Chain A
Amino acid sequence: MVPEDRKYAASHEWIKMDGDTALIGISAFAVTELSNGNEGDMVYCDLPEVGRVLATGETFGEIESVKAVGDLNAPVGGEVLEVNTSIEDHLEILCDDPWKAGWLIRIKPETTDWGHLLDAEAYEGTLAEQA
């Protein structure tokens, strides 16, 4: 089950309002796909500088396992306010808790109109197709 308190991009990023800013992360499915279910296989995460302004859909970083690499795309544009630096050295956080402690960046969203994104049910539907 994926949390219903946020929106999803088809490329597996989630975004969630947290006060008047928004957190962005990736779904448990994406983590499992990358790591093959083996948390030790997650090896590298490249996150943007604070202050960078992202456009919707823009690639803001990369995440790597030993055998795969995934682009991180901004589901919604906005200025990067904070980066979860603890992730870079402790990728297991991403495997253990992708929905909360495993957030990647905090942005000031340029819009709160997230109509282009998927809700939890629709996102789960796309996962069923890929399985």
Chain B
Amino acid sequence: MNPDLLLFEKSSPGRRTLRLGALDVPQPDLTRLPAGALRLAPPALPEIGELDLVRHYTRLSKKNMSIVDSFYPLGSCTMKYNPVLHEEAAALPGFTDIHPWQDAGRLQGALAILRDLERDFAEISGLPCVSLHPAAGAQGELASLLVARAYFAERGEGERTTVLIPDSAHGTNPASAAVAGMRAVTVVSAADGGVDLDDLKTKVGADTAVFMITNPSTLGLFEERIAEIADIIHDAGGLIYMDGANLNAIMGITRPGDFGADMMHINVHKTFATPHGGGGPGAGPICVTEALGPYLPLPRIVEDENRLRLSEEAPDSIGMLRGWAGNFSVLLRAWCYLRRLGPEGIRRVSENAVLNANYLRARLRERWHVPFDRLCMHEFVANTRFQREAGVHAIDVAKRLIDLGHHPPTIYFPLVVPEALMMEPTETETRETLDSFVEDMLRIADECDQTPELVKQAPTTTPVSRLDEGRAVKQPVLRFRAE
């Protein structure tokens, strides 16, 4: 059998893996169910035995590039090592087999972990009130914007609905503002890559609700004028939101709450080493000031008489954005990470992340253009300006890196740099790994000069070569259908 067939093509009637034992209660009389309640034809799920099921997914797993097999310098994604201990911890029956609505007295271990995490995140962010509820960073952004709306409404300032967002921001920022029913207004970048204060001043006003800033920015630069920016926004009566995507650069070094942020989210699947899982699940806890604390989402972890419980009642809360208290088993992994590292280890994470990024930048800058070529934080942006004459684009470089065994950097982002190659090596990589990546990047630079077609034809070592993405939209095939 062709191993590359889909499950549906490998399917054969009568096969299956899951079998239950004999029913130990009487057969129910299905005719008693309401008319029209029953399914008439079974769903056309694949029918496959256990060994072939194992082979299918094992084979698929080998078609992925992942942290366990390759360097993964994907900018703004913080693809650090995900400790295997966390998987073991999350699989403990005492953490998997617990229902969120069972008696809180029987959940004290899980609730204590969540309470610990709230304290840890408050300390790292410098913002005292924490909600672990949001499912991911984007939901954390939305939750925070709704918190801001509730806060302003309470103060009789409901007209504050404008969200100012730098042009280098992640797309989730303006999208979250739109979902919150707010107006996104773009603030341009200055020549040094930071926020253009003149532009900011012309856009701030009585309608300003929130300024969303990613600091360090997606260019890997710390906003040196952050205190001045905070004053401008606060003087206008607005709030500062910090997109925590790049928190890995500054832990134990500076705290968002100390540089003027009123709210922030944390991407635990970036900073706190929980797996990305091919696109989640992550978790997006938010941290806010005392003044904003009453508006945080439900449920809340409350402590009465040394007993923790989840409360779904809080008069000023914005409510819920998903079911339950949060992605518990993801949060549990973050808790493990924090317990292992401690305060010194957490600071070392940021120091080594910044060290590794600067080392990579220093070694690449001669052959790869770095538009903002100065000390960076945990990531930096290069581009293909030196390769323009060869007609090589960022996407070509990305594909060639795959052939050479490295996952590519983030490409074409941030939008403010054309042909961007955004690199974030993380602290968990060795100097040797960085050196080998540098050598291959230098090799690609040579190839761009000498054999650019080689770069433009890449990848050639992968299960498929470049795929026709236009066709996928123009002739959409979004599911398997039997011939």
Contacts and interface: CB of A to CB of B under 8 A. Distances in A.
B412 A41 contact: no
A41 B470 contact: yes
Interface in A42-97: 42-44, 64-67
A24 to B, nearest CB: 24
A67 B412 contact: yes
Contacts of B468: 40
A77 B334 CA distance: 56
Given A36-B395, A40-B468, A43-B474, 7 more contacts: A41-B470, A42-B470, A43-B470, A64-B473, A66-B473, A67-B412, A67-B469
B473 A43 contact: yes
B453 to A, nearest CB: 15
B62 interface: no
A11 to B, nearest CB: 15
B378 interface: no
B395 A41 contact: no
Contacts of A38: 470
Contacts of A40: 468, 470-471
A38 B473 CA distance: 14
Contacts of A44: 473
Interface of B: 393, 395, 412, 468-474
Nearest to A65: B470
A64 to B, nearest CB: 8
Interface residues of A, number: 11
Task: Return the 6 tightest CB-CB contacts between A and B, nearest first.
Answer: A40-B470, A43-B473, A66-B469, A41-B470, A43-B470, A43-B474
Binding site secondary structure of chain B: helix
A23 B395 CA distance: 35
Contacts, number: 21
B393 A66 contact: no
A12 to B, nearest CB: 15
B72 to A, nearest CB: 21
Contacts of B471: 40
A42 B473 CA distance: 9
Most chain B CB inside 10 Å of its own CB: which residue of A43, A64, A65:
A43
Nearest to A42: B470
Nearest to B473: A43
A37 to B, nearest CB: 8
A66 B472 CA distance: 9
A41 B393 contact: no
A75 to B, nearest CB: 22
Contacts of A66: 469-470, 472-473
A41 B469 CA distance: 7
Contacts of A43: 470, 473-474
A44 B412 CA distance: 21
A36 B393 contact: yes
Interface string A94-128: 00000000000000000000000000000000000
B106 to A, nearest CB: 50
Nearest to A35: B470
Contacts of A42: 470
A68 to B, nearest CB: 9
Contacts of B469: 41, 66-67
A36 B456 CA distance: 13
Most chain A CB inside 10 Å of its own CB: which residue of B412, B470, B473:
B470
A67 B394 CA distance: 13
A86 to B, nearest CB: 15
A74 to B, nearest CB: 22
B251 to A, nearest CB: 33
A32 B19 CA distance: 56
B413 to A, nearest CB: 11
Contacts of A65: 470
B7 to A, nearest CB: 27
14 contacts: A36-B395, A38-B470, A40-B468, A40-B470, A40-B471, A41-B469, A42-B470, A43-B470, A44-B473, A64-B473, A65-B470, A66-B472, A66-B473, A67-B412
A64 B469 CA distance: 12
Contacts of A64: 473
Nearest to B391: A37
A73 to B, nearest CB: 17
B54 to A, nearest CB: 35
Contacts of B474: 43
Nearest to A92: B470
Nearest to B412: A67
Nearest to A44: B473
Nearest to B415: A68
Interface in A1-52: 36, 38, 40-44
Contacts of A36: 393, 395
A103 B108 CA distance: 67
A38 B393 CA distance: 12
A30 to B, nearest CB: 15
A118 B301 CA distance: 61
